[in-house]
Amino acid sequence: MIYDIEYETMPREALEAIQFRRLKATIDRGYASVPFYRKQFEAAGITPGAIQSLKDLQKLPFTTKQDLRDNYPFGMFAVPMENVVRIHASSGTTGQPTVVGYTARDVDTWACLMARSLMAGGATRGDMIHNAYGYGLFTGGLGAHYGAEKLGASVIPVSGGNTKRQVVIMKDFGPTILTATPSYALHLAEVADEMGVSFRDLKFKYGIFGAEPWSESMRGDIEEKLGLVAVDIYGLSEVIGPGVAMECYEAKKGLHIFEDHFIPEIIDPETGEVLPYGETGELVFTSITKEAFPVIRYRTRDITSLNPEPCICGRTMVRMNKVSGRSDDMLIIRGVNVFPSQIESVLMEMQNVEPHYQLVVDREGSLDILTVMVEVSESMFSDEVKTLQTMEKEITKNIKDYLGVSAKVKLVEPKVIARSQGKAVRVIDNRKI
Amino acid sequence: MKAEQISVFLENKAGRLCEVTGVLAEAQVNIRALALADTSDFGVLRLIVDDTEKAKGALKKAGFTVGKTNVLAVEVPDRPGGLHDILNLLQSSGINVEYMYAFVQQSGSNAVMIFRFDNTDNALKVMQANGLRVIDGKTLYGM
């Protein structure tokens, strides 16, 4: 079923006319009200008047995560704070998370996009949605929540964690739709199994999973263990949150990008050159309806390709393939974004600890396990085992406090961490995704 | 009266201890006593050697993290209750033993134990005030 049949099935020409009108408005407003964009445009020698077609978007400079950090906290906002009704932020360490804002209209736009997404994923009015995305600064929980209410479904705002209680709720309330990260969905199934509850006997029909990369084989695994149809959702807080693109349950083959709100481009991450449909590169988004936090050519660092072929579901919007990797060193651990540099600053802030470290990521069962190997330098070494163990615990706690992710800290001998061409190998990802 | 002990950080994996002994053999350092404390992930090797500086230098050069600590080598009467009397004395004086291990050689008819205290100076005073024999470093390394 299609939530917004007029827009989601719009012929290409009509869609492009709307896109161009909205793009012009976004660029005019970004230039007028965000000093960063004005400076960017001026440095590139471009005025908003130079944008005469959709293709002219390519003339504009990119926006990066670093740009957002440089303008922490509210420098990228395009409206006065009295018009902002919601603030979200991505994980950050002591320094700079990325902060995003929403006007009342943005919140409504987002709710509509999530309603579209939920319906594309099989949900409808009368469904009960078990929403296990985290509520809080993370956009996942509230994003799905507002979409569910907009759709008219019943939503259980269970959030993440407290897994046994979740299983009891699933058994007693009988929700029909599960929204969660794919790894947490599998974890739920494992815990249910330990509790003697058969997931397949629950009432779930569809599961809408996202916020971390997952493979086709993981989809098969989830569908088998949970007894539901698993579909993929994509989004990032910088663009709006979840609901930027959504797979339809009919095809389960790529995610429809809601192009009446976001213009996607695929670029070569090295040269910045725009690549044609079908070619793999870095995904770039320009928001064309957002008021509080417009982004112009925002580099997501996600690697994928676009597929313009018509889809059996009837939607005319282009599909992005499953994200296959990153063009930076960001890791997603159980749905939490982790940059090695964040771990580094946690270590740097500790007395005696030197930032010689390596991150090893494994998947045990369905959960991501992050191990932080820290080289023992002379300044942190002690002949007493308990001092070293205290240090391990302290590092673990600081990582948890700053990044919100549980890690196993392991002290290692110096020079154990492989250094290639003088540069330490910071990340070893053993997950087979 | 204190003796020097070196400590080495070791990961719990096959062959590491052997590498330490190899480095020391190469440097012509004689190990006088040793104790290993370990967890599931790592261990700390403590050593009394005949030439502390030489051993430390050689191990550091081989890439190990090495520390140096002061310990006390105390003569323990070789009879039932010999060690107990000493620990009892320390206990009543409020001195904590962080860890201890045995030295290989005897001193006359007495055994020798290596003690690591939280407060070495205090411990030394208490020992001496109670007539216990603490062996100084130089004597110990050559025993």
Strand A206-210 to strand A177-180: parallel, antiparallel, or no bridges (unpaired)? parallel
CATH 3.30.300.30 residue ranges in chain A? Answer: 333-429
ipTM above 0.90, yes or no: no
Task: State which CATH number among 3.40.50.620, 3.90.1150.10, 3.40.190.290, 3.40.50.12780 fits the domain covering A1-328.
Answer: 3.40.50.12780
Token pair of A264, please? Answer: 């996607």
**Residue of B6, B7, B9 best to disrupt the A interface, most CBs of A under 10 A:** B9
> What residues in B contact A383, CB-CB < 8 Å?
5, 7, 44, 46, 67, 69, 116
The first and second tokens of residue A427, run together, are 């990340």
Please list the pLDDT of chain A residue by residue as tens digits (433 residues).
999 999 999 999 999 999 999 999 999 999 999 999 999 999 999 999 999 999 999 999 999 999 999 999 999 999 999 999 999 998 654 457 899 999 999 999 999 999 999 999 999 999 999 999 999 999 999 999 999 999 999 999 999 889 999 999 999 999 999 999 988 898 899 899 999 999 999 999 999 999 887 888 889 989 999 999 999 999 999 999 999 999 999 999 999 999 999 999 999 999 999 999 999 999 999 999 999 999 999 999 999 999 999 999 999 999 999 988 888 888 888 878 888 878 888 888 888 887 788 999 998 877 889 999 998 988 889 999 999 999 999 999 999 988 888 999 999 988 766 654 455 678 888 986 6
Examine residue A73 and say whether the peptide bond preceding it is cis (omega within 30 degrees of 0). Answer: yes
Q: How far is A365 from chain B (nearest CA, A)?
A: 22
Which of B39, B65, B96, B115 to probe the A interface (max A CBs under 10 A)? B65
Angle at A71 between CA A65 and CA A75, to 5 degrees: 125
Determine the length of chain A: 433
Beta strands at A336-338 and A331-333: parallel, antiparallel or unpaired: antiparallel
Q: Sketch out chain B's domains with CATH numbers.
A: 3-69 (3.30.2130.10), 70-142 (3.30.2130.10)
| Spacing of C-alpha A74 from chain mean position | 20
**Distance separating alpha carbons of residues B124 and A34, to the nearest angstrom:** 70
pTM of the complete model: 0.76
pLDDT at B123: 92
Asked whether the beta carbons of residue A384 and residue B44 sit closer than 8 angstroms, the reply is yes
Task: Strands of chain B (E only): list them.
Answer: 3-11, 31-38, 42-49, 66-76, 97-102, 111-117, 134-135
Topology at the third CATH level for domain A333-429: GMP Synthetase; Chain A, domain 3 (3.30.300)
Residues of chain A with CATH 3.40.50.12780: 1-328
